[in-house]
């Protein structure tokens, strides 16, 4: 576990040594902020709608995360592969799975920082009204879980290629697929889709968090997706021995 | 997981191992997730536990042993459905939410409640939607039409449930608002219990009512069947009597005449059932209604029998007329059967249901049609005979009166009856029925006469809740102006404030409640009003609407969170309020409980009216005044009230006006209701509950008296130029009611919820108040100046990036410093 944490710390530091982290976090903030204040349904903006709620933030933030987080994970393995530092990395006394977990935790660290900065929005809402802080906490927990799942998926695509751009595009496609395309595909494939299949959609699983409800089924689902992606990434890394 | 550091023995086996491991992980994840779908383990982080069953819901579920819930949920729901007022309602996730909520109740009941899902196309039961409709679950359709055969049809969907408890049942007809699932289900559970308990006591009347209904049903089915079947048969196939007959009316007559003995025998049971219904008569409104409908039905059957047997007057001489009369009578029977069905449904649904009375007759909000006709039809016809102009005005006035009745009846139906409340009109000049559990006096604008006050007094002292909403001032903001003597036409610029003729202040004073006449204004915590404006553009005049923050619509911010009515309230807009306080004597009296349920903010102020009405001028007044808030806008008092009529002779009941209404004939002898009233003894003191709200909450009464002000039949007979002016004034009055409601319509949602809460509280369903509030927990932003909101938005949009930039710069500096130190 120590090895994983050490790797995670190193990864987090490396992330913040690169301008990409600041750019990605700033883009995330600006996009979610603009959508939060101006992107309300109908004609009214946040102050026009006159409701002290963070629901619009939780509606739009997963979209932004689905786009931003693959940009953060794209370099995690692809860059190491391209620059040849992966071979150096695997000589460390850590297993592939520890390596993957360390990188993932490092990226989660970035996610936490990005989410912490968005706390300016709940603070602004609290200054203008009286939001339900429990619901806000639920929403943030949901963002953390969905973000972790996006990061794990991005990490997986990063292990598939040497090219960061390819890793980003594949990661983006996978995240967007899980966030929204599953709904559409299931509807095309099934006339009457079973409830279990409908639950594949990240969006369906995320809704409860946005309401302030932490349903263990939703938590387990995001953790399962992350776990499957971590295992996939580990074996994808291991594939270097198969050549 | 295989240790990735251990090289695989061969490429192929390594790949296979990896594939197996990845597939196994996916498999485990799928199985664990699938198993977890059956476990409903949730943590509700919301402050009011909005998504967790409350104690009242849990205990309601536990109190109903062997309750069976049958859920009707369409397999594939549309994404959205059209809403009545335009727009769309999203149904995403609604199915899961409904299932989860029902299952929560099952879990909470500890095995006492059983949940069954209606299955699609089970043998002999049809689709889920068909089963749902048969169970009275309301079907709804999406906006997408589907081709069914050669026609386009909107697909029907169902999302609801039925609840069966022993001999009674209730229906959750349309479950489309997840926020209110708990409220609706708990309401049904509480109702089931009350209904079952009351039905046990009323077993006999209910059985007698059922016998009458069954007898009428059998009679109607027989008559309709005989009439219909013979009509559709081919000529000659119906038997000898129909040979050569082509007229369908004649065919029906012959067929019914042939079956007259059967009809007489089957329909004869109605009279038997009605005469045996001794326990039904005079016991309840619904029992009497059923008996009355049955009586009317029976008289039609008797008449039909006379025509069929040829004993009716002229039946033999004029066979054509007799045929027509039979056709008419069979059709009337079917119509009256529907009435009987409705009356029977009301009767079976009535046990345990509490009736809420609305006082009417003083220009207050009275959600019923008037019981008396506007102008007797014959008189109206006579008046217009010589003057076509007057005829036209009479027709228009009658039309306005009809519109008022229809609007009030629709309001009552949509706001209350359809939501499961049993409301009843209480006329001030009659004693209040003992069936009424709570009385609402909703913003009277005319003085309550002594007899009405006496009824109200005795009702309160009997321990039943009285809820008074006050409207001391009428605020006309950019209303239609009636034509003036200078010949100016109707315009949309009339603004004024005038006192109503209410004497509620004097009435309440007698119970220690001081209803103030000054208006309550606020400069900071206010809502907007929507004002219609006429705008000139390019020589054309347009009507537009503009929102103005209005000092006379303060937003209440202080609530007593110990009272069920205000426990979950955060804010409430209160249009045109005065204020209300307990008198010092009442305050000192320890026997009374006084609760300031709703209060305005600290920035509010009390100002003597009349005040300037236009928003900018009114704002000036509010801004200049020194805040004196908070002021109480709703006060609750409970305690041993003393009668205002103690030591006085009780006022006499006004003489009942004679009407020619055949539906309400004068009674020859006193009814059981009259006898019950006669037995009532005068109470000088009694423990009562009184709630006073110092506002009409934006719901202004629409009454004939207020709209058709000055209408007199005698005056109409002397037609003059003034009559025309009067007519224009009535028209303006009616439109002004619509304008005023429209100005605060955006606030009505919150205020109607509050009224519904008041009604639940008044009928002892306090737990429902809290549960409903959970479903509609609005958290509005405080009133902000445009600059303040702009700064807040800009600040929060820039603060994050600035913070990140600063952190980045600091980190860069730290790294540079560290690198430099390493170089050395």
B41 touches chain A (CB under 8 A): yes
Residue B197 and residue B209 share a domain = no
Residue A219 banded pLDDT, cuts 50, 70, 90: very high
Per-residue burial over B593-608, b = 16 or more CB atoms within 10 Å of its CB, e = otherwise: ebbbbbbbbebbbbbe
Peptide bond into A74 cis (omega under 30): no
CA distance A152 to A175: 10
pLDDT tens readout for residues A2-22? 888 998 998 898 888 888 889
pLDDT tens readout for residues B683-698? 898 999 999 999 999 9
Question: Best residue in A130, A131, A225, A235 to probe B by mutation, most B CBs within 10 Å?
Answer: A235
Q: How many CB pairs under 8 A join A and B?
A: 184
Sequence-ordered list of residues with C-beta below 8 angstroms from that of A135, at least 6 positions apart, any chain: A53, A54, A210, A211, A212, B45, B46, B47
CA distance A60 to A57: 5
Q: Which residues span the domain enclosing A41?
A: 2-242
Residue B386 and residue B283 share a domain = no
- pLDDT given for residue B608 in this prediction: 93
- pLDDT given for residue B8 in this prediction: 47
What residues of chain A lie within 8 A of the CB of B3, using their CB? 95
- pLDDT given for residue B4 in this prediction: 46
Q: Which residues span the domain enclosing B96?
A: 55-201
Tell me how many domains chain B contains. 3
What residues of chain A lie within 8 A of the CB of B778, using their CB? 51
pLDDT at B358 over 90: yes
- pLDDT given for residue B386 in this prediction: 67
- pLDDT given for residue B159 in this prediction: 93
> Higher model confidence: residue B65 or residue A141?
A141
In a 3-state reduction of DSSP, which class is residue A198? helix
Any domain includes B236: yes
- Going from the C-alpha of A131 to that of each of A51, A137, B781, the distances in angstroms are 8, 11, 9
Any domain includes B816: no
Lowest-pLDDT range of B192-206, B507-521, B574-588: B192-206
Q: Which helix (H) or strand (E) holds A137?
A: helix A133-160
A33, A125 in Cβ contact below 8 A?
Answer: no
In a 3-state reduction of DSSP, which class is residue B690? strand
What residues of chain A lie within 8 A of the CB of B92, using their CB? 204, 207
Calculate mean pLDDT across residues B481-493. Answer: 63
- pLDDT given for residue A47 in this prediction: 79
- pLDDT given for residue B606 in this prediction: 94
Residue A196 banded pLDDT, cuts 50, 70, 90: low
Residue B297 and residue B376 share a domain = no
CA distance A61 to A209: 13
Per-residue burial over B765-803, b = 16 or more CB atoms within 10 Å of its CB, e = otherwise: bbbbbbbbbbbbbbbbbbbbeeeebeebbeebbebbbeb
pLDDT at B599 over 90: yes
B201 touches chain A (CB under 8 A): no
> Higher model confidence: residue B421 or residue B736?
B736
Residue B195 and residue B79 share a domain = yes
What pTM did the predictor assign?
A: 0.67
Residue B360 and residue B299 share a domain = no
CB-nearest partner of B25 from A199, A231, A239? A231
Query: Considering only CA atoms, which of B288, B305, B300, B289 is closest in space to residue B335?
Result: B300
pLDDT at B518 over 60: yes
- pLDDT given for residue B776 in this prediction: 61
- pLDDT given for residue B501 in this prediction: 93
Task: Identify the DSSP state of B119.
Answer: P
- pLDDT given for residue A109 in this prediction: 95
Interface of A with B in 106-125 (CB under 8 A): 117-118, 120-121, 123-124
B107 touches chain A (CB under 8 A): no
> In terms of C-beta density within 10 A (0-12 exposed, 13-18 middle, 19 or more buried), how is residue B520 classed?
buried
pLDDT tens readout for residues B557-569? 888 888 878 877 7
CA distance A120 to B800: 7
- pLDDT given for residue B315 in this prediction: 67
pLDDT at B363 over 70: yes
Any domain includes B378: yes
pLDDT tens readout for residues B238-267? 444 444 556 777 888 888 888 888 898 999
- pLDDT given for residue B319 in this prediction: 75
Residue B217 and residue B177 share a domain = no
- Phi, psi values for residue B598, rounded to 5°: -130, 135
CA distance B162 to B183: 15
Residue B381 and residue B325 share a domain = no
- pLDDT given for residue B3 in this prediction: 47
Tell me how many domains chain A contains. 1
Rounded to a whole number of angstroms, the distance from the CA of A64 to the nearest CA of chain B is 15
Lowest-pLDDT range of A39-53, B429-443, B801-815: A39-53
Rounded to a whole number of angstroms, the distance from the CA of B617 to the nearest CA of chain A is 24
B607, B730 in Cβ contact below 8 A?
Answer: no
Sequence-ordered list of residues with C-beta below 8 angstroms from that of B808, at least 6 positions apart, any chain: A16, A19, A22
The verdict on a CB contact (< 8 Å) between B778 and A215 is: no
Residue B703 and residue B765 share a domain = yes
CB-nearest partner of B37 from A22, A131, A217? A217
- pLDDT given for residue B2 in this prediction: 44
Lowest-pLDDT range of B137-141, B289-293, B818-822: B818-822
Calculate mean pLDDT across residues B537-556. Answer: 84
B787, A122 in Cβ contact below 8 A?
Answer: no
Interface of A with B in 88-107 (CB under 8 A): 95-97
B525, B630 in Cβ contact below 8 A?
Answer: no
Residue B231 and residue B156 share a domain = no
pLDDT tens readout for residues B223-235? 988 887 544 444 4
The listed range with the strongest mean pLDDT (B474-478, B515-519, B750-754, B815-819) is B515-519
Alpha helices in B614-711 (DSSP H): 615-624, 672-679, 704-707
* Domain stops at, among B294, B323, B349: B349
* Domain stops at, among B349, B379, B410: B349
Any domain includes B781: no
- pLDDT given for residue B234 in this prediction: 47
pLDDT at B576 over 90: yes
Tokens encoding B457: 């007094």
Provide the sign of the torsion angle of the four alpha carbons B552, B557, B563, B564, taken in this order: positive
The verdict on a CB contact (< 8 Å) between B46 and A191 is: no
Residue B269 and residue B139 share a domain = no
Residue B265 and residue B184 share a domain = no
pLDDT tens readout for residues B741-756? 999 988 888 888 888 8
The verdict on a CB contact (< 8 Å) between B33 and A217 is: yes
Any domain includes B799: no
* Domain stops at, among B311, B327, B349: B349
pLDDT tens readout for residues B5-61? 444 445 667 778 888 888 998 999 888 888 887 777 888 998 878 888 888 899 999
pLDDT at B489 over 60: no
B150 touches chain A (CB under 8 A): no
CA distance A89 to A80: 8
B172, B138 in Cβ contact below 8 A?
Answer: no
Task: Please report, to the nearest 10 degrees, the dihedral formed by the alpha carbons of residues B728, B732, B735, B737 taken in order.
Answer: -140
The listed range with the strongest mean pLDDT (B230-239, B607-616, B671-680) is B607-616
- Phi, psi values for residue B184, rounded to 5°: -65, -45
Any domain includes B38: no
B501 touches chain A (CB under 8 A): no
pLDDT at B1 over 50: no
Residue B369 and residue B227 share a domain = no
CB atoms within 10 A of CB B398: 16
In a 3-state reduction of DSSP, which class is residue B237? coil
Q: How remote is the C-alpha of B472 from its chain's centroid? A: 25
Q: Which helix (H) or strand (E) holds B636?
A: strand B632-642
Any domain includes B576: yes
């Amino acid at each position: 576990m120590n090895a994983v944490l050490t790797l995670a710390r190193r990864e987090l530091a490396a992330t913040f040594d690169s301008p990409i982290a600041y750019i990605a976090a700033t883009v995330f903030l600006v996009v979610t902020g603009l959508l939060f204040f101006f992107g309300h349904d109908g004609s009214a903006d946040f102050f026009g709608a006159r409701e002290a709620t963070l629901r619009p933030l939780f509606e739009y933030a997963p979209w932004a995360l689905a786009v931003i987080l693959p940009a953060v994970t794209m370099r995690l393995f692809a860059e190491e592969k391209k620059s040849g530092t992966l071979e150096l990395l695997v000589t460390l006394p850590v297993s592939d799975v520890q390596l993957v977990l360390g990188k993932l935790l490092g990226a989660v660290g970035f996610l936490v920082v990005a989410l912490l900065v968005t706390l300016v929005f709940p603070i602004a809402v609290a200054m203008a009204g009286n939001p339900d802080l429990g619901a806000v906490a639920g929403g943030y927990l949901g963002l953390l879980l969905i973000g972790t799942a996006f990061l794990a998926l991005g990490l997986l695509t990063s292990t598939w290629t040497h090219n960061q751009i390819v890793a980003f595009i594949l990661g983006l496609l996978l995240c967007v697929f899980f966030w929204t395309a599953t709904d559409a595909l299931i509807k095309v494939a099934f006339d009457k889709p079973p409830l279990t299949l409908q639950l594949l959609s990240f969006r369906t699983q995320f809704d409860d968090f946005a309401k302030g409800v932490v349903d263990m089924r939703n938590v387990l689902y995001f953790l399962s997706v992350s776990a499957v992606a971590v295992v996939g990434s580990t074996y994808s890394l291991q594939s270097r021995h198969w050549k | 997981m295989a240790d990735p550091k251990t090289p695989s023995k061969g490429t192929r086996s390594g790949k296979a191992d990896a594939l197996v491991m990845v597939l196994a992980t996916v498999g485990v994840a799928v199985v664990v997730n699938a198993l977890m779908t059956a476990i409903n383990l949730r943590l509700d982080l919301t402050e009011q536990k909005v998504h967790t069953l409350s104690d009242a819901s849990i205990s309601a579920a536990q109190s109903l042993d062997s309750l069976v819930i049958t859920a009707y949920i369409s397999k594939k729901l549309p994404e959205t459905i059209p809403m009545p007022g335009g727009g769309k309602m999203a149904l995403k996730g609604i199915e899961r939410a409904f299932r989860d909520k029902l299952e929560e109740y099952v879990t909470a009941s500890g095995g006492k409640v059983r949940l069954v899902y209606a299955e699609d196309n089970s043998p002999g039961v049809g689709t889920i939607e068909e089963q749902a409709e048969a169970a009275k679950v309301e079907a709804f359709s999406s906006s997408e039409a589907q081709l069914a055969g050669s026609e386009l049809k909107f697909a029907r969907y169902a999302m609801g449930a039925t609840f069966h408890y022993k001999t009674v049942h209730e229906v959750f007809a349309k479950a489309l608002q997840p926020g209110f699932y708990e409220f609706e289900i708990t309401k049904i559970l509480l109702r089931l219990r009350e209904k079952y308990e009351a039905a046990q006591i009323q077993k006999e009347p209910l059985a007698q009512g059922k016998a009458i209904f069954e007898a009428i049903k059998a009679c109607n089915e027989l008559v309709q069947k005989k009439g219909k079947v013979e009509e559709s048969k081919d000529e000659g196939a119906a038997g000898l009597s129909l040979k050569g007959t082509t007229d369908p009316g004649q065919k029906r007559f012959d067929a019914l005449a042939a079956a007259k003995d059967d009809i007489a025998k089957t329909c004869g049971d109605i009279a038997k059932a009605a005469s045996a219904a001794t326990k039904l008569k005079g016991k309840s409104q619904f029992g009497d209604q059923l008996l009355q409908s049955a009586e009317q039905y029976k008289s039609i059957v008797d008449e039909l029998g006379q025509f069929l047997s040829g004993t009716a007057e002229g039946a033999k001489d004029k066979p054509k007329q007799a045929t027509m009369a039979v056709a008419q009578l069979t059709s009337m029977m079917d119509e009256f059967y529907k009435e009987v069905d409705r009356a029977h449904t009301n009767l079976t649904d009535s046990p345990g249901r509490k009736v809420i009375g609305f006082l009417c007759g003083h220009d207050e909000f009275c959600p019923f049609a008037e019981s008396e006709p506007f102008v007797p039809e014959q008189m109206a016809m006579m008046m217009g005979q010589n003057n076509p102009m007057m005829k036209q005005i009479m027709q228009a006035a009658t039309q306005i009166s009809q519109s008022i009745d229809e609007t009030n009846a629709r309001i009552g139906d949509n706001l209350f009856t359809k939501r499961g409340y049993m409301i009843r009109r209480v006329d001030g000049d009659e004693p209040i029925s003992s069936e009424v559990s709570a009385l609402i006096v909703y913003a009277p604008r005319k003085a309550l006469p002594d007899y009405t006050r006496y009824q109200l007094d005795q009702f309160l002292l009997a321990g039943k809740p009285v809820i008074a909403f006050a409207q001391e001032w009428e605020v006309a903001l950019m209303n239609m102006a009636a034509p003036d003597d200078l010949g100016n036409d109707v315009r949309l610029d009339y603004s004024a404030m005038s006192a109503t003729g209410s004497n509620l202040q004097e009435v309440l004073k007698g119970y220690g409640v001081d209803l103030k006449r000054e208006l309550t204004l606020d400069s900071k915590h206010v809502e907007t009003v929507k004002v219609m404006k006429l705008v000139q553009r390019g020589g054309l005049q347009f009507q537009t609407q503009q929102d103005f923050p209005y000092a006379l619509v303060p937003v209440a911010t202080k609530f007593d969170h110990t009272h069920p009515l205000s426990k979950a309230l955060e804010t409430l807009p209160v249009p045109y309020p005065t204020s209300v306080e307990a008198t010092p004597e009442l305050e000192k009296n320890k026997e009374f409980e006084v609760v300031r349920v709703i209060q305005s903010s600290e920035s509010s102020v009390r100002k003597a009216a009349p005040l300037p009405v236009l928003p900018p001028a009114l704002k000036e007044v509010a801004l200049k005044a020194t805040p004196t808030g908070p002021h109480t806008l709703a006060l609750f008092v409970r305690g041993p009230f003393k009668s205002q009529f103690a030591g006085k002779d009780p006022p006499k009941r006004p003489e009942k006006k004679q009407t020619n209404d055949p539906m309400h004939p004068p009674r020859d002898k006193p009814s059981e209701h009259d006898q019950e009233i006669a037995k009532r003894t005068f109470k000088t003191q009694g423990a009562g509950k009184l709630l006073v709200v110092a506002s009409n909450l934006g719901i202004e009464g629409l009454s004939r008296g207020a709209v058709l002000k000055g209408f007199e039949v005698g005056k109409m007979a002397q037609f003059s130029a003034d009559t025309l002016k009067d007519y224009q004034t009535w028209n303006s009055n009616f439109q002004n009611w619509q304008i005023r409601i429209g100005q605060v319509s955006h606030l009505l949602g919150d205020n109607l919820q509050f009224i519904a809460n008041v009604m639940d509280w008044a009928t002892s369903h306090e737990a429902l108040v809290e549960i409903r509030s959970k479903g509609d927990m609005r958290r509005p932003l405080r009133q902000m100046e445009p600059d303040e909101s702009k700064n807040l938005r800009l600040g929060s949009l820039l603060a994050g990036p600035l913070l990140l930039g600063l952190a980045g710069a600091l980190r860069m500096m730290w790294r540079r410093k560290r690198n430099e130190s390493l170089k050395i």
